[in-house]
Amino acid sequence: MFERLKALPADPLLGLITLYRDDPNPNKVDLGVGVYRDEQGHTAIMKAIQQAQKTHLSTEDSKTYIGPMGVPGFVDGIKKLILGESSKALSAGAVAGIQTPGGCGALRVGFETLRRLGDDLTVWVSDPTWANHIPTIRASGFETQAYPYFDANTGLVNYEAMDEQLAKLGKDDIVLLHGCCHNPTGADLSFEHWQRIAERAVKQGFIPFVDIAYQGLGDGLESDVKGVRHLSEQVDEMVIASSCSKNFGLYRERTGCLIVQTENQERSAALQSQIQDVARANYSMSPAYGGFLVDLVLSSPDLRTSWEDELNAMATRVKSLREGLLAEIKQRNVSQDFDFITQQKGMFSYLNITKEQVRQMRDEFSIYMADSSRINVAGLNLSCLGYVADALKKACG
Ligand code: LMR
């Protein structure tokens, strides 16, 4: 029977890990998977997380189940981190939530729950969107459609084109939005754009589904969620999938949270039971460890300050790498305009070069990036900026 199942090509992002690892070139540069690296190319455990691990290890006295919701303090902490301490929906008890295995787990449970609303809903994703969005949404039983998003001429958002599509949507539509630090483009919605989306969602009745995996890595923990908080204040119903992979550096611990904002407490209780039921049928309960650590960090003033400081330093470093790369490119008079690199936000930049140019940079310089030309800016370091700019000059002229 198994001969019917053919080998699949490697995942477009995760496949780059192996390609890079097996490349013997000492000058190789890994700009593939979205992982923060320091100047030495190391993904260190954040200091607050190191401390939380010690505390957790010395206090945990049982490995019994903690319940379908996951670590309650973690879920509450993430709700507040995203929606804000003064969120009206939170104080009304109208927000359901569950710890999930990473942001991917939150997406999958969220979409499978929405699938229970009926057969005729369509999910709209940005063009382009993160490589794993469409497979996850389709595996949840939905068809996807794309709304215009990225403007290849400016390297930023083409909001008017996006708005033209949103204007046609209604109660049978779900719109997936990137909360901040758009993956793969780095082109973010402005606050005014969020206001316009909120107006449309209220008037037309589509459900906003926000994926937020980089809070704190753009303009800061609060600024990065200004748009999401505005949306939450305006609409009755929305869904949020959040990830602690990047901003807490918990990649392999698969720590995420699904948040469902409803109209009132009664609906929130119903949704809480639905999301737990979807999770139960998939993997029963989320691994708890990452949730314990994040809960400790968010609830201890010292650890929280340490975490915020380190996260701010990471975001500042990524911004300076953007500036450094652009300066090196300009010095080489590369034919293409790359000014957008410093206007884009977060860990990614969409270089807007062809797949052939991407492959040329890989084959001749051992510089690894997604075929879409997405680079992980956080994979750069000061010593390779000139080398990457040389490769771009060779590829683009
Ligand atoms: C990425 O976009 O590179 C990260 O979110 C890692 C992943 O799972 O794709």
pLDDT tens, 121-148? 999 999 999 999 999 999 999 999 999 9
Residue 56 placed within a domain? no
Number of independent structural domains in the chain: 2
Q: Are 272 and 126 members of one domain?
A: yes
Residue 58 placed within a domain? no
- Note the pLDDT tens digit of each residue in 248-306: 999 999 999 999 999 999 999 999 999 999 999 999 999 999 999 999 999 999 999 99
Would you say the CB of residue 132 lies under 6 angstroms from ligand 1?
yes
Q: Are 162 and 311 members of one domain?
A: no
C-alpha distance from residue 128 to each of 132, 155, 162, 183, 341 (Å)? 11, 12, 12, 9, 17
Per-residue pLDDT at 10: 87
* 338 CA distance to ligand 1 middle (Å): 23
Count of beta carbons in the 10 Å neighbourhood of residue 287: 16
Give the helix ranges, DSSP H, for the chain.
Answer: 15-21, 47-59, 72-83, 88-91, 102-115, 133-139, 159-166, 191-204, 226-234, 265-282, 289-299, 301-331, 355-365, 385-396
Q: Are 8 and 83 members of one domain?
A: no
Per-residue pLDDT at 105: 98
**203 annotated active-site:** no
CB 102 within 8 A of CB 110: no
Q: Are 41 and 109 members of one domain?
A: no
Q: Are 275 and 327 members of one domain?
A: no
**194 annotated active-site:** no
Per-residue pLDDT at 209: 99
Would you say the CB of residue 251 lies under 6 angstroms from ligand 1?
no
Q: Are 76 and 224 members of one domain?
A: yes
Q: Among the three residues 271, 299, 327, which one is the final residue of a domain in this structure?
A: 299
Q: Are 138 and 212 members of one domain?
A: yes
Q: Are 240 and 143 members of one domain?
A: yes
**124 annotated active-site:** no
Q: Which of 260, 264, 244, 240 is nearest to 252 (CA)?
A: 244
Q: Is the pTM of this model over 0.85?
A: yes
For residue 115, the domain's CATH number is 3.40.640.10
Domain carrying residue 368:
2-45+304-396
Q: Among the three residues 273, 299, 325, which one is the final residue of a domain in this structure?
A: 299
Per-residue pLDDT at 295: 98
Point out which residues pair with 350 in neighbouring strands: 374
**236 annotated active-site:** no
For residue 375, the domain's CATH number is 3.90.1150.10
Per-residue pLDDT at 67: 94
Point out which residues pair with 100 in neighbouring strands: 256
Residue 226 placed within a domain? yes
Mutate to test the pocket of ligand 1, among 11, 16, 20, 33 (most ligand atoms within 8 A of CB): 33
Element (DSSP H or E) covering residue 116 = none
SS3 368: strand
The rounded distance, in Å, linking the Cα atoms of 103 and 98 is 11
The rounded distance, in Å, linking the Cα atoms of 310 and 267 is 38
Q: Are 256 and 317 members of one domain?
A: no
Residue 238 placed within a domain? yes
Residue 150 placed within a domain? yes
Q: Among the three residues 231, 265, 299, which one is the final residue of a domain in this structure?
A: 299
Q: Are 100 and 215 members of one domain?
A: yes
Residue 15 placed within a domain? yes
Residue 60 placed within a domain? no
Q: pLDDT averaged over the chain?
A: 97
Residue 102 placed within a domain? yes
Per-residue pLDDT at 254: 98
Cis-peptide, bond into residue 208, ω within 30° of zero: no
Q: How confident is the model at residue 7 (pLDDT cuts 50, 70, 90)?
A: very high
Mean pLDDT of 37-62: 97
Quick one: which atom of ligand 1 is closest to the CA of 132? 9
Q: Are 191 and 118 members of one domain?
A: yes
Per-residue pLDDT at 12: 85
CB 118 within 8 A of CB 280: no
